Structure 1
């Protein structure tokens, strides 16, 4: 039930094909159980995925705790909800020696903690949701539930810090954090709506906007979308090499995509629909066979 009290049979799951282990979007409340889980995983060289957010500090929050949330009267989630949990998790990673991946960082201070851990030689990697590199909590100014996400959008300074961490390689993977919802899930008042953005279909065009704005060069961006995630999970993917699976994507960086023009996701909860974005996918190949063609 993801209560964080009992350990699954991790080795049996590894033998069945699981490549990494975590507790979903829930955090471990019991630090002693977490320590034992990490020691168990380290013994068998398993990768553990963290979503570091302190439950008590974040409970009831809807937006980043700051000027925007105060102005709108929304309950806040402080930056320390991430950094307190992240500091605890990194200390336990260091003690246990487990290989760890930290998913969906939202704060510049969190990225700094990851950088410091990497500098000490800890086997840690991290990713960020793509929309955290584009949006800030200022997007909530009209109470649009399309921008209600968890963990929350944070400040411009946090966004800039995350961008720099992606550029430098401290954050080696960019994720879509795709969370589709039925239409009714976003129609209630802001605090009663389901958090999340349906975004996987726009992952490349949205990411290309970072190149268009001069924030990343194209090779770095493509590495964060392919080889970076693959290396974080130690998967033989995300690269072009002889004998590797022909999982390829052909796109035109000079073309453009009208978001939502052809929409395959059943979740329309995406604030980018209607935007003209750079880059257009022509076709996708999976194991050498065309699985999508524009």
Structure 2
């Protein structure tokens, strides 16, 4: 057996020092102590954590149509530098990914880029307009084999339409990822509704706008016995609703973003539009509830909601600025800061919420190394991340691979660095720098 790479001295998510041998077929050949492999390239991971490749269920790659902000190429480069080996591209491109042709285009661009797996997310409704269902079955039957559908950026507000969508995707074990935002309660909203929004003179975005949709949709999912996923949960009340739904056996999963685990509405005091996001930054009490919900399993996974924007659409007056933040390249350090350094999660837990759980939700057949607990197994595809939790740095978005620089962490001091990434057994990141992409056959 030819061994291509040997990772030595690293610590697995379980806290065990383990060497990892990767063979020429791109699989994990051996796990053990003091492994030796002739002619292998050796990566010294002493003092570092070796994690399964990260999986992001919520990424905006913008292409087709908005490639001035991001492309599949630049977005997946950013993902690779952040430790992700699979990303799910949201449907709000131009044209919208509501047909088999568009999702196949995104899927093909991902394979051509070769930095990560790219799984297109299909739109629930035509043009994200919320009026009639998109070609759900055709997108599933396409080369992309779409099973996740979302109008993210827009809420599927019509309960009849949502019920039909939930019923429709059951036939191929698909699921709906809902952007929970009652539009009539958020018309013109600019930030979290609170005393601060009144003080700043910005229209408030009430928590109930999110919570009312979640309450409705978990009941609909229960009624039709289908799968519902809640995108970017942001309030304490939402956490409680999801916790209740799970206690009732409802098939619901949920995600939280890194920025909602770290940042609060207080950042809006600067009127810097880099902090304008949908859903908005909330209160300290919400951040605390979100962290607790992720730690206890109420919230299943971390989704970056990586939302690149051009300077023209972001660096302008707050009221007209675009909503969204970049997040792929800072996700792991932010999760370390918010969850690991605070003692709420260990690295085993990080592997669970950033690798195993999102892979399980999407039913990733090729994420074989991801056991239910987020561990590594021999014979699985070698999607691996070597991470140095001790490296300290100051966030500088101009150093990122993403085409856009609207990071809310600019100037913030964080710990952690992705030093090496193996995608399908090919080293796409070495010494924290991009190398060469994997070429699909």
Tell me the TM-score normalised to structure 1 length.
0.95
Is residue 409 of structure 2 the alignment partner of residue 288 of structure 1?
A: no
The structure number with the bigger radius of gyration is 2
Find the aligned partners of 1:283 and 1:75 in 2 and give their Cα distance.
44
Instruction: Give the equivalent residue in structure 2 for 1:150.
Output: 278
**1:168 is the counterpart of 2:296:** yes
Kindly tell me: are residues 219 and 205 of structure 1, through their superposed partners in 2, closer, same or farther at Cα, counting changes over 3 Å?
same
Cα offset, 1:250, TM superposition: 0.6
Q: Whole-Å Cα distance in 2 between the matches of residues 259 and 75 of structure 1? A: 30
Could you tell me which residue of structure 2 aligns to residue 256 of structure 1?
392
Q: How many residues align?
A: 294
- Look up the match of 1:4: 130
CA RMSD between the two structures: 1.5
Partner of 1:67: 195
| Separation of aligned partners in 1, 2:322 and 2:314 | 6
- Separation in structure 2 between the aligned mates of residue 139 and residue 289 of structure 1, nearest angstrom: 40
Note the alpha carbon deviations across 1:60-97, whole angstroms, 9 max, x for none: 10100001111101000101100111111111111111
Matches for 1:103-114 after TM superposition, within 5 Å: 103-114=231-242
Unaligned 5+ runs, structure 1: none
CA–CA distance in structure 2, aligned partners of residues 30 and 100 of structure 1: 15
* 1:136 lines up with 2:264 in the alignment: yes
Given that residues 205 and 257 in structure 1 are in contact (C-alpha distance below 8 angstroms), is that contact kept between their aligned partners in structure 2? no
Q: Alignment partner of 1:121: what SS?
A: coil
Aligned to 1:271: 408
SS in 2 for 1:283: strand
Cα deviation 1:134-167 (Å, max 9, x = unaligned): 0111111121111110110111111111111000
Which one has more relative contact order, counting CA pairs under 8 Å at least 6 apart? Answer: 2
Q: Which structure has the highest helix share of the two? A: 1
Structure 1's consecutive aligned runs of 4 or more residues displaced over 4 angstroms after TM superposition are: none
Distance 1:29 1:172 in 2: 24
Distance 2:225 2:132 in 1: 21
Q: Which has the higher strand share?
A: 2
1:216-231 mapped onto 2 (5 Å cutoff) = 216-231=345-360
Contact kept? 2:234, 2:286, Cα under 8 Å: yes
Between 39-48 and 188-197, the greater mean CA deviation after superposition: 39-48
Q: Does 1:100 align with 2:228?
A: yes
Whether the 8 Å CA contact 1:212–1:278 is kept in 2: the answer is no
- Aligned pairs for 1:107-122 (under 5 A) are 107-122=235-250
Kindly indicate whether the alpha-carbon contact (under 8 Å) linking 2:156 and 2:179 is maintained by their aligned counterparts in 1: no
Deviation sequence 1:216-265 (CA, Å, 0-9, x none): 22221232111121112222326222332211111111222332273211
Q: Which runs of 5+ in 2 are unaligned?
A: 1-126, 371-375, 433-441
